A = this chain, B = another copy of it.
Amino acid sequence: MNPTAIFKALADDTRRQMIEMLRERNHSAGEFAAVFNMSKPSITNHLNILHGANLVYREKKGQYVIYSLNMTLLQEAMLWLQKMSKGEEK
Residues of A participating in the B interface, judged by any CB pair closer than 8 Å? 3-4, 7-8, 10-13, 16, 19-20, 23, 71, 74-75, 77-78, 81-82, 84-85, 87
Contacts and interface: CB of A to CB of B under 8 A. Distances in A.
What DSSP secondary structure best describes chain A's contact surface?
helix
A10 B12 CA distance: 13
A19 to B, nearest CB: 6
Given A4-B11, A7-B7, A11-B11, A81 B81 contact: yes
Given A11-B4, A13-B4, A16-B3, A81 B74 contact: yes
Interface pairs A-B: 5 shortest CB-CB: A74-B85, A7-B11, A8-B11, A7-B10, A78-B81
A4 B8 contact: no
A61 B88 CA distance: 29
Contacts of A85: 71, 74-75, 77-78
